[in-house]
Structures are given as C-alpha cells and as structure tokens.
Amino acid sequence: MNMIAPVTESLGRSRPRTSPKKVKELPVDTILEGDCIAEMARLPDKSVDMIFADPPYNLQLQGDLFRPEGGRVDAVDDDWDKFESLQTYDDFTREWLAEARRILKDDGTIWVIGSYHNIYRVGSILQDADFWILNDIVWRKANPMPNFRGTRFTNAHETLIWCAKDGQAKYTFNYRAMKALNDDLQMRSDWLLPICGGGERAKDENGEKAHPTQKPESLLYRILLACTKPGDVVLDPFFGTGTTGAVARRLGRKWIGIERERKYVKVARNRIDATLPLDESAMTVMADKRSAPRVAFGLLVESGMVPAGSKLTDSKRRWTANVNADGSISCDGQAGSIHKIGAALQGAPSCNGWTFWHVEEAGKLQPIDALRQKHLAAL
C-alpha cells in the first residue's frame, strides 16, 4: 500500500466527524475492505480529486421484478413497500453522498452511474446536497439485452451524472483530449460503448462471471481521461471487481477502492495486479491551449520575430495594422492590443488577435499564432 499525504488537511468544519479514528495519510492504490460509508468516514476531508460511484440500483425495487407474473398483489401493501424502499434508498444515498462530498477536494468532481430505477433519486439528492451538475451522460449500450416480452422499449442505455462541488468550482476537463478522441469533433453527451463481456469480463474461481454489473473499461477510460490528470487520486466507493482501479493504474492515476464483499476484493486485487501502466509517452494527450505558458505579443516584437513597423493583416486583407515598438498595434487611428483592435474593427465583443492577425511570408498569409508556437517550441 502506498501512502501520500493529503494535499488539504482536515479543517474540522461544520460536519461532525462520523468516526474518531481518521487515517493520518491517504491510503492509495489499495482496496479498503468494508462498508462504504464507514470506510469513507475514515478518509480525510478534501483529499481526493475525483469520485466514481456505481451504487446499487435499488435492490428493493429489483425484488419486485422477480415476483411471479400474474400473482395478485395487494395494492396498498405494495405502495407501502415501495415507499419504504424508496425512503430507505434515499437515506442511504444521502449518507454516502455526504461522505463523498466531504472527502472530495473543492475542485474535484464526482461521477455517479445508474438506471431509471435509481438515477432520479441520485440526481435529486446530488442537487439537494449542492452539487452542481456539469453534464449528464448517456451510455448507449452497443449490445443491450433485448426486451424479450415486447412490452417496452429496449432498455439500451444507462445514465451518468457528472458534478462539481458548486457552480464556481474550477474542475478539470481535458477538452482537447476528448475532442481528439472523437475525431476532432467535440465529445457529446451520448457515448456509444459495448457492454463488458468476453475476455474483459472478470471470472471467479469457478469460471463464472464474478460480478453481475461489471462496467466496461472503455467507460472508465473516457471518464478518467476527461476529468483527471496523471497522479490524481480517484476514489470508487463501490469498487466491485475494480474496473476503476484497473483503468486508473493503466492511465497513471492513483486510486482507492472500497468494497464490502470479500469475493469481489479478491478478484479486483488479482485483476489490477495484472494490469500494466502505460508508459509515460503513451499517456500524453492533446494539451489545452489554456494551459500553455502565456506569450505576450510584445515578446515577438522584442525578439525581432515581428519587428516594430511591420504590417499585420486579417485573413481576407480587409484591414492592415501597424506594429508599434511596445507590442501594441495601430489601425484606423486606433491603437491597442492585437485583441482589442481586432475586436473593434469587427465590431465584435471580443477577438483572439493571435488567430485574427496574419503576417505575409513568401506571399502567403500566416497567422501570428504560428509564430507564437515557433517561439514556444524554441524554448
């Protein structure tokens, strides 16, 4: 078991500690065997970067599904049952989500997956707990189980809810990586992925499938790639056969799993041990421009890459601007930054001067952003 000190210390805030014996250091790359709420209670405040949770889909309701067809059920008792189970499920959900919220860093995010049986309870309780929904994602199953009786639409999807701790949080979203993964189109909220089967499906000692609802690694791959950075800590409070851990290890993320059932813990351990991390070069993703170091236009002027006195023009040569010695530009009697002048000329509220303005080189127009990239590469 590896240990790393939690980045943020427990602050002893409003929420009472539900357990007196909190761990001093965050246990990572390990499975905590026990009840998810009790084990979460031992983890420090604001210590994990992401939580992925695949909670039970409300076992009480599933019980109803197994009733013999045509059996006469007293309606009043049934309603009472249902109320009882929904109430119980809600209480359970509120409790583990409260712990999850406490453990999550302020800029961390949480993902919860569910079906129509439970996801509306989960979504409402997330909102009630002041989580801020960023997206809901539809996992479209490429190969769902058909509806054998022909009584409904084929239940061919599950729903994931992605939340920040509040509307102001600065969460991680690797936009360019997601765009790259989707052939240079923005990644949408509907994901088509096969269900987990074949060799990926974990087996127990008897060769039977080890877990009834094992999630595909491709699903976790996309989630972890989108919303975490290498080295981030991911918590999965309903670990099962450890899909989250396996993918986290492969992608160079740290992980914590909580699982109550010993048989699943064993399967998960073996599975993750057999998973090899990608080497660092393979782990790289398209970097967001936002995270690149800033280059002031004046720096290019200073360095002579775009000398003072040279001309800038837009791609259609509608306007020509003069470069001043201080990195400001002049056009139409106005002077200011490449962005300000670009916006003013177009009558637009804003403008990215780096892509708007061009220089002529060998008869061809080239955006000054290309020069910036050259400048960055030279460093």
* Binding to a second copy, residues 252-281 (CB under 8 A): 278-279, 281
| Of residues 288-347, those binding a second copy (CB under 8 A) | 288, 293-294, 296-299, 301-304, 307-310, 322-328, 330, 333, 335-337, 340, 346
Tell me the closest approach of the beta carbon of residue 1 to DNA, in angstroms. Answer: 27
User: What is the x/- site pattern for DNA, positions 234-263, by CB under 7 A?
Assistant: ------------------------------
Choose, by CB under 8 A, the member of 4, 37, 286, 345 that binds a second copy: 286
Going by the DSSP 8-state scheme, the letter that residue 358 receives in this structure is E
Q: Would you count residue 339 as binding DNA (CB under 7 A)? A: yes
Size of the site for a second copy (CB under 8 A): 119
Q: Would you count residue 74 as binding a second copy (CB under 8 A)? A: no
Whose CA is closest to 269, among 298, 246, 303?
Answer: 246
Distance CA 252, CA 231 (A): 6
Choose, by CB under 8 A, the member of 37, 98, 283, 345 that binds a second copy: 283
Choose, by CB under 7 A, the member of 21, 294, 318, 364 that binds DNA: 294
Q: 19 vs 355, which CB is nearer to a second copy?
A: 355
Distance CA 161, CA 167 (A): 15
Choose, by CB under 7 A, the member of 27, 90, 98, 132 that binds DNA: 132
Choose, by CB under 8 A, the member of 37, 156, 169, 365 that binds a second copy: 156
Tell me the closest approach of the beta carbon of residue 203 to a second copy, in angstroms. Answer: 18
Whose CA is closest to 110, among 40, 188, 211?
Answer: 40
3-state class (DSSP) for residue 289: helix
| Of residues 85-104, those binding a second copy (CB under 8 A) | 86
Choose, by CB under 8 A, the member of 142, 261, 320, 374 that binds a second copy: 142
Q: Would you count residue 190 as binding DNA (CB under 7 A)? A: no
Quick one: what does residue 217 bind among a second copy, DNA, none, with the CB cut-off 5 to 8 Å set by partner type? Answer: a second copy
Going by the DSSP 8-state scheme, the letter that residue 291 receives in this structure is G
Quick one: what does residue 333 bind among DNA, a second copy, none, with the CB cut-off 5 to 8 Å set by partner type? Answer: a second copy
Window of 43-51, 115-123, 251-259, 264-272 that interacts with DNA by CB under 7 A: 115-123
Whose CA is closest to 45, among 73, 71, 69, 15?
Answer: 15
**Bridge partner list, 307:** none
Give the Å distances, CA to CA, from 199 to 23, 73, 196, 202, 207: 37, 42, 9, 8, 12
Choose, by CB under 7 A, the member of 17, 85, 94, 144 that binds DNA: 144
- Residues across the chain: 379
Sheet with 311-314, side-by-side order of all strands: 334-336, 329-331, 320-323, 311-314, 357-361, 364-367
Contact (CB, 8 A) for 229 and 285: no
Window of 16-24, 42-50, 192-200, 218-226 that interacts with DNA by CB under 7 A: 192-200
Residue with tokens 């200011």: 336
Distance CA 25, CA 6 (A): 6
Quick one: what does residue 214 bind among a second copy, DNA, none, with the CB cut-off 5 to 8 Å set by partner type? Answer: DNA
Choose, by CB under 8 A, the member of 9, 91, 106, 130 that binds a second copy: 130
Quick one: what does residue 323 bind among a second copy, DNA, none, with the CB cut-off 5 to 8 Å set by partner type? Answer: a second copy
Contact (CB, 8 A) for 74 and 106: no
Window of 34-42, 43-51, 91-99, 332-340 that interacts with DNA by CB under 7 A: 332-340
Distance CA 205, CA 218 (A): 25
Distance CA 134, CA 119 (A): 15
Choose, by CB under 7 A, the member of 17, 94, 117, 311 that binds DNA: 117
Distance CA 276, CA 293 (A): 32
User: Which tokens go with 175?
Assistant: 């936009």
| Of residues 274-293, those binding DNA (CB under 7 A) | 288-290, 292
Distance CA 67, CA 129 (A): 35
